[in-house]
Structure 1
Amino acid sequence: MSKSDPAPLGPVQVGAEHVTTVQTRRAGTVPLRHTVPGLLRDPARTLVECGERSGGEVVKINLGSFRPFLITHPDHLQRVLREKSDNYVRAGDGLQWRPLKRLFGDGILGDGEHWTNSRQILQPLFTARRIDGLVDRLAVAIEESIDELAEPARTGEPVDMGDVQAQVVCSAIMRVFFADKISVPDAMRIMKAQDQIAWSVMPRILVPWAPLVAPMPGDRTFRRAVQLIDDLLMPTIRAARETVDEGTDDIISTLWRGRTEDGGRLDERQVRNDTVAMVATTTETTISVLTWLWPHIEQDPAIAARLYEEIDQVVGDQPVRREHLRELRYTRQVLDELLRLYPIGWLFPRTAVEEDIIGGVRIPAGSTLVVSPLITQRMSQFWDRPEVFDPDRFSPELVRKRPKYAHFPFGGGPHQCIGMHLFYLEATLIVATLLSRYRFRLSRPSVPGIKVAAALRPLERVEVTLRPVQGAAA
């Protein structure tokens, strides 16, 4: 990485403020030879290496004709994601959003007026108070799904934890947040289609300058998967419009009933976009992140012992309920460490609306910025032994000392994921319910690598054999 000497600039316009003469420098560059070959071989490792090479400074990543700015330092991230979020937008033609917009369209995962309307309508469903009020309903739905593991546990038949978690999460979310308007089998088919989409868009994310009209690998898979999702969801969405009333508060009914800032209603296309987005965001994080839990705790008996001990003491042989969750403090630390290593929202690209200066580097209007929890959360500048799975990093005293944006798996500022609180409650319920009933042994006791897609996925399946805990709640 090369850096030029600081060069003085005259007055520049930054947002709405006139800034006097400041010392700025040109951004260093991570060379092409360190990026493209590595991105093709091992994208996750290469991206983290780019962060290490930056040393926390604002640099450019040389991808040939495309050279986005890489933002890794917590102070700089706070400026981009929170303090000046209006200047750094999720542009529809940006690095990641352009290929995914073909699935999600304008709405809760976009920006501008559509995002404002969707966020205003959906936010009340995801407040901490409301989610807390749903805990016991979620817990019962999760228990009923985990009941189905009794037979494979009795026979010793291995189970795929990715499939188990998908079944558990879909059963709970479809019941509690979609009022069973979407059946669990249909939700499972949507999950598989989303997995195909997440992988099929990677060629376009890695080659962001390619026009959408130019055919690329994965396009056919993408189109088939989107069509399947629409075939499954659109009849349900249209039927819900005819039956919506003030007494229903599931996601689809809420979207149809909601009012925009100007007093209007969402059209069918935006209700479709937001329904697809909410099915994905309320399920995908929990399903994927927890898959890495089991190999990590099997590899470290001390972590496993602390987790088992806490769950045994807090839950015992009773069903997991709301009053248990606040006592499962170490379980929360384990989840935070999983999210540090495997943030599902691993890439938050932004586009600069107006010129700005970050870390002494001039950011011209129209520039693309790469913001990645995967990178920052694995950088040795901000984390001791970042490659090691260590839930003690999230003890309260260490969290208080750490910069806020050293750990931001759900983004930050106005675009922070509205499902964050739901993830922690749901994941805690799943882990506590499973480990209060079962101990497990992995068929292959290695930690899967990372498959970089639109969302991170484990490279290999995680299969386990379950053994019932004596006296556990049935």
Structure 2
Amino acid sequence: MPAWQALPRLIRNPHQTLVEMANRADGDVVRVGLGVSSAYLVTNPEHVQQVLHEKADNYPRGDDTPLWRSVRKLVGDGILAEGETWTASRRTLAPLFRPTRLNALVDTMADAVADTAGRLDEVAAAGQPVNIGGELSRMVSSAIMRVFFADRVSVDSALRIMAAQEVIVTSMAPRLLAPFVPWWIRLPGDKRFHAAVEAIDDILLPVLREALREPGEGDDVLSTLARARTAEGQPLSMKQMRDDLVSMVAVTTETTYVVLTWLWPVLTNHPDVTERLYDEVGRVVGPGPVRADHLPELTYTRLVLQELLRLYPAGWIVPRRAAGADVLGGVRIEPGATIVLSPYATQRLPSLWGPTAADFDPERFAPEQQARQPLPRYAYYPFGGGRHRCLGEHLFNVEAVLIVTTLVSRFRFTLTDSAIPRTRVAASLRPARPVEVVLTPLDRHRTR
């Protein structure tokens, strides 16, 4: 697509434009003109697999792609880097995300979520609307600071960090929309971006220094970093620990509350899904609290979350840079070319998901449906893929179920605006407006 067609549409609505380009190409690689440069939109699962898995060495993240260039200015070199630095960071931090560790902490996370949800009782009794994104942020912070940071970072501090992250991912929009502009040219949002990065450092660096003085024996992030050693047996540098710590805060907090913010408008527009969800939670969890032994029985809840991730993946765009020449789907890729993968576009392709691809239908993930119509491996990749697949995938699958079931066991929700919000241009997929809800305590609302 030539620049004179692509650029205005991408600036106006990049998410929908990527979907339309992918649908018209029906999985073919699309060359997108961006004025002084070009990018290649890759949405076919076979081609995505080549980029993320089979030929991953040829398609690194690339420091000069707009998204990763900005991300690196926030998190530096660590778990989101490449090469030996990434390998060392992942070796240090991956054990914290093992399913066995997280499963043992389910009840601890559930208690933290329930404690935070309890503060909504007064708001519900008064019938006051609340910004559900803000409340989800508090729930996520409470659970994560307890199980990943051993309460060394307070919930209030975590909320300030998440507010700074909000500034960061939204202030990156001009860079995403003008990828050809070099970093030394200031764009709107740059000043806010740098101020937010400094604000995060001001909160976390004193906590890190305290952890170095008293590492402790726990398996939380700070203790783990303080005790970690390089391959040569030396302590990690302060910069390495800082970069990994900032990355871990982002990885463990961002996805869950961003994705779950979309849930409530979706449920409002799908009352049949809502009733099935409430019926399952009422039958399995009752008035709560949710416990670890409930999770295997919350099958429909998990289907709802899978479908939510299909239509609203937090990581909606995954850029890569071609290190060497290649051919994808018959299209020659030159060295240095920008490759744009988009779970948001691939996961809405009618050629993969049928004529109802844009509809919210949790049943498409039911085991019997998957058995009848198995999907290609990379038709669905909300957590990325290959060696850089997100460490926080299992964490989301546990934490999101805990939050949803806790809220559903307590309240009914009425939105002040029932329309599903438009998407906002940002590094992660956010609604263009706050999602406000009015809560009704379930014991007063339930009539059945």
Same fold by TM-score greater than 0.5? yes
Matches of 1:232 and 1:116, distance apart in 2: 27
Alignment check: 8 A CA contact 1:99 1:205 kept? no
Matched, 1:363 2:349: no
- Checking the alignment, whether the CA contact within 8 Å between 2:288 and 2:406 is kept in structure 1 is no
Is residue 189 of structure 1 aligned with residue 156 of structure 2? no
What residue is the counterpart of 1:459 in the other structure?
Answer: 432
Take 2:127 and 2:361, find their aligned partners in 1: how far apart are those partners? 30
Amino acid at match of 2:62: A
Shift of 1:198: 0.7
Query: Which aligned pairs between 1:13-412 and structure 2 lie closer than 5 A?
Result: 30-245=1-216, 247-384=217-354, 385-400=356-371, 401-412=374-385
Structure 1 counterpart of 2:349, one-letter code: M
**AA of the residue aligned to 2:335:** A
Unpaired runs of at least 5, structure 1: 1-29
Give me the CA root mean square deviation.
Answer: 1.5
- Describe the superposition over 1:421-440 as per-residue Cα deviations: whole angstroms up to 9, x where unpaired: 00010000000011011111
Name the residue aligned to 1:3: none
Determine the C-alpha separation between the residues in 2 that align with 1:382 and 1:273: 38
- Equivalent-residue separation in structure 2 for 1:149 and 1:112 (angstroms): 45
Shift of 1:137: 0.6
User: 1:39-89, CA deviations, whole angstroms, 9 ceiling, x for partnerless residues?
Assistant: 221121112112123220112111111111111100111111112212211
CA contact (8 A) 2:21 2:30 kept: no
> Alpha carbons of 1:379 and 1:186: their partners in 2 closer, same or farther (altered >3 Å)?
same
Alpha-carbon distance between aligned partners in 2 of 1:326 and 1:137, rounded to the nearest angstrom: 17
Using structure 1 for the length normalisation, give the TM-score.
0.91
Aligned partners of 1:397, 1:78: CA distance in 2, in Å?
25
Secondary structure of the 2:111 match is helix
What is the alpha-carbon distance in structure 1 between the residues aligned to residue 127 and residue 182 of structure 2? 51
Displacement of 1:354 in angstroms is 2.5
Please give the alpha-carbon distance, in whole angstroms, between the structure 1 residues aligned to 2:180 and 2:341: 18
Secondary structure of the 2:359 match is coil
* CA–CA separation in structure 2 for the residues paired with 1:112 and 1:203: 29
Aligned-partner residue type, residue 407 of structure 1: Y
Q: 2:403 aligned to 426, 430, 438, which one? A: 430
Secondary structure (helix, strand or coil) at the match of 1:370 reads: strand
Letter in 1 for 2:262: W
1:5-24 superposed Cα distances (whole Å, 9 cap, x missing partner): xxxxxxxxxxxxxxxxxxxx
1:470 aligned onto 2:436: no
Question: For residue 435 of structure 2, what is the amino acid of its counterpart?
Answer: V
| Distance (whole Å) between structure 1 residues aligned to residue 122 and residue 231 of structure 2 | 52
Offset of 1:381 from its aligned partner?
Answer: 1.9
CA distance in 1, matches of 2:368, 2:22: 26
Question: Secondary structure of the residue that 1:282 maps to in structure 2?
Answer: helix
Whether the aligned pair in 2 keeps the contact of 1:100 and 1:201 (CA below 8 Å) is no
Contact 2:29 2:328 in 1 (8 A): yes
C-alpha deviation, 1:148, in angstroms: 0.7
In the TM superposition, residue 465 of structure 1 has moved relative to its aligned partner by: 1.4
Contact 1:317 1:471 in 2 (8 A): no
Looking at structure 2, the residues matched to 71 and 295 of structure 1 have their Cα atoms a distance apart, in angstroms, of 30
For 2:110, give the aligned amino acid: A
How much does 1:325 deviate? 0.8
Whether 1:443 and 2:416 are equivalent positions in the alignment is yes
CA distance in 1, matches of 2:229, 2:296: 35
Q: Is the 8 A contact 1:298 1:304 kept in 2?
A: yes
Structure 2 Cα separation of the partners of residues 426 and 208 of structure 1: 35
Report the alpha carbon displacement of residue 372 of structure 1 after superposing the two structures with TM: 1.0
- What SS is found at the alignment partner of 2:102? helix
Shift of 1:225: 0.8
Contact 1:348/1:371 (<8 A) preserved = yes
1:414 aligns with 2:384: no
Q: How many residues align?
A: 442
* Separation in 2, partners of 1:189, 1:95: 25
CA distance in 2, matches of 1:229, 1:46: 33
- 1:315 alignment partner AA: V
Amino acid at match of 1:380: P
Higher Rg of the two aligned structures: 1
Retained in 2: the 8 A contact 1:234–1:272? yes
Contact 2:40–2:338 (CA under 8 A) maintained in structure 1: yes
Task: State the alpha-carbon separation in 1 of the partners of residues 161 and 50 from structure 2.
Answer: 36
- For 1:469, the aligned partner's letter is L
Single out whichever of 261-270 and 286-295 deviates more from structure 2.
261-270
Q: Are the aligned partners of 1:90 and 1:350 in contact in 2 as well (CA < 8 Å)?
A: yes
1:154 Cα shift?
1.4
Partners in 1 of 2:313 and 2:288 — Cα distance? Answer: 31
Structure 2 counterpart SS, 1:393: helix
- Checking the alignment, whether the CA contact within 8 Å between 1:436 and 1:469 is kept in structure 2 is yes
Amino acid at match of 1:110: A
Counterpart residue type for residue 335 of structure 1: L
Which 5+ residue runs of structure 2 have no aligned equivalent?
Answer: none
Higher helix share: 2
Q: Matched residues, percent identical?
A: 50
Offset, 1:32: 1.9
Give the aligned residue type for 2:86.
W
Deviation at 1:38, TM superposition (A): 1.1
8 A Cα contact 2:75 2:247, kept in partner: yes
